Structure 1
């Protein structure tokens, strides 16, 4: 199997990263070590690849789509977390706000690269021969790519972009877990603020995301001047629900034949109630 030596190398890297994360070191210190470790493995990966060039286009696409992006995503992810944790304020609302601002930045990236993100998420392959073969750079497919330091021996037009998408998804999950931990410490006082009555969201997640986006885009809350990630996390606490990937869900809503299924249902239900 073509990827076997690379899989072994990646498992080795993953094991060392897990070991680092469990160390007693300060978080910033072990993240610095993790970045250095990932960088060393990227150099090892490049050296091995150039000594063992793929023999077929299929193998080349496999390497630049499934092998290299995983390694580079780990490097980008740990660099991102090091930057985020290195700038973290003291706990409480300031820390929550810090993490939420980073979440919002990630959603902007997904918005700016919507077509490629959708290509990756749907596991499409019809453009793989253009995205993951060296020397196939198409300015129409990647007009913003920086070509000054482009290494044609070890890069295709989109393998680094894929690594960034994978890294952002890991960063998104990391931030959501950090926010969840902070929120759990505040749940007691929050529930007291809500009172004894518990309200639970009983529609599906797509409906929940449509509800949240509808309130903000209609400027019904704070005149629309709201960080979407922060608002959704607040609504999750109010209605005791969790959305794993709200931006991905929103993207799905945008592509549905009926984009406002839940909103239409709410409107019709209200009309029916008023006409009773």
Structure 2
């Protein structure tokens, strides 16, 4: 049941992200929209869990290790974007860049102090499962381990405390990529005209397919530019946020039929256009 719920949750979030668009020019409105959606989704999932419960311990562990953190992590992420963007300077000058540089440094510092040095972070990142019953089963908090006081204020029916820790890790990684893109040299200054007039009107997956094709073919910087750097350039240039690039690419690899649907479409479109001149 939980794996099915997990798939439904991921599809629901992805569909809402595509609907929101997450373009930089409307980031405040769209991050608020995602925050409201994810808060409602978390509430619905909570009601479902409290009503139906868990079939067994593996089911419970999977929920608190995978399902809930994916919702809560994105909720923390979009809410943080909304708070950052509503407080930032309005122009794109030095004050603007300094603001996002400071946010990025604060994030790195908090991550270093509160997360990456912890035993749990090392456990989670290593992919271990031997202590999952301690971390992802309700009512198993060990007070003698010296918990953060926040642990005593959690919902005992819907949190193991460590599901929140996983959500923090997910949110911080997403936020790090977002802030890193913001602190890059303002790419808009290198192009004439108003870039906000350019809009990507195909699907995000189509753009991701194109980006990977350009990267692996060595078309940009002889293949040494790095997929993240290329992605940030496209995101900034086209006022779009692509989200989890690697997860999207993994799904493309599992496609039935052609795995390069958009590149196939480009070839057909160009061939047809060339034929018109004959």
The TM-score with structure 2 as length reference comes to 0.62
Cα deviations across residues 117-175 of structure 1 (Å, max 9, x unaligned)? Answer: 32222222232111111000112445214245321110002101110111010000111
Q: In 1, Cα distance between the equivalents of 2:79 and 2:145?
A: 27
1:174 equivalent among 164, 173, 178? 178
Instruction: Report what 2:36 is aligned to.
Output: 36
Q: In 1, Cα distance between the equivalents of 2:146 and 2:174?
A: 24
Shift in Å at residue 63 of structure 1? 0.5
Higher relative contact order (CA 8 A, sep 6+): 2
Q: Tell me, yes or no, if structure 1 residue 184 matches structure 2 residue 175.
A: no
Distance of aligned partners of 1:3 and 1:243 in 2 relative to their CA distance in 1, 3 Å threshold: closer
Q: Tell me, yes or no, if structure 1 residue 149 matches structure 2 residue 149.
A: no
Shift in Å at residue 55 of structure 1? 1.6
Distance of aligned partners of 1:105 and 1:119 in 2 relative to their CA distance in 1, 3 Å threshold: farther
Q: Tell me, yes or no, if structure 1 residue 163 matches structure 2 residue 167.
A: yes
- Does the Cα contact within 8 Å between 1:136 and 1:157 map onto a contact in 2? no
Shift in Å at residue 186 of structure 1? 6.3
Instruction: Report what 1:139 is aligned to.
Output: 143
- Aligned residue runs from structure 1 range 7-46, under 5 A: 7-22=7-22, 26-46=26-46
- Does the Cα contact within 8 Å between 1:110 and 1:117 map onto a contact in 2? no
- Does the Cα contact within 8 Å between 2:22 and 2:30 map onto a contact in 1? no
The alignment yields a C-alpha RMSD, in angstroms, of 2.6
Shift in Å at residue 185 of structure 1? 4.7
How many equivalent pairs are there?
192
Distance of aligned partners of 1:123 and 1:136 in 2 relative to their CA distance in 1, 3 Å threshold: same
Instruction: Report what 1:65 is aligned to.
Output: 65
Q: Secondary structure of 1:103's partner?
A: helix
Distance of aligned partners of 1:148 and 1:136 in 2 relative to their CA distance in 1, 3 Å threshold: closer
Q: In 1, Cα distance between the equivalents of 2:145 and 2:132?
A: 12
- Aligned residue runs from structure 1 range 50-89, under 5 A: 50-89=50-89
Q: In 2, Cα distance between the equivalents of 1:41 and 1:179?
A: 31
Distance of aligned partners of 1:153 and 1:71 in 2 relative to their CA distance in 1, 3 Å threshold: same
- Does the Cα contact within 8 Å between 2:137 and 2:160 map onto a contact in 1? yes
Distance of aligned partners of 1:3 and 1:105 in 2 relative to their CA distance in 1, 3 Å threshold: same
Q: Of the two, which has the highest radius of gyration? A: 1
- Does the Cα contact within 8 Å between 1:103 and 1:172 map onto a contact in 2? yes
The TM-score with structure 1 as length reference comes to 0.63
Instruction: Report what 1:234 is aligned to.
Output: none
Q: Runs of 4+ in structure 1 displaced over 4 angstroms? A: 22-25, 185-188, 240-244
Distance of aligned partners of 1:11 and 1:179 in 2 relative to their CA distance in 1, 3 Å threshold: same
Q: Secondary structure of 1:43's partner?
A: helix
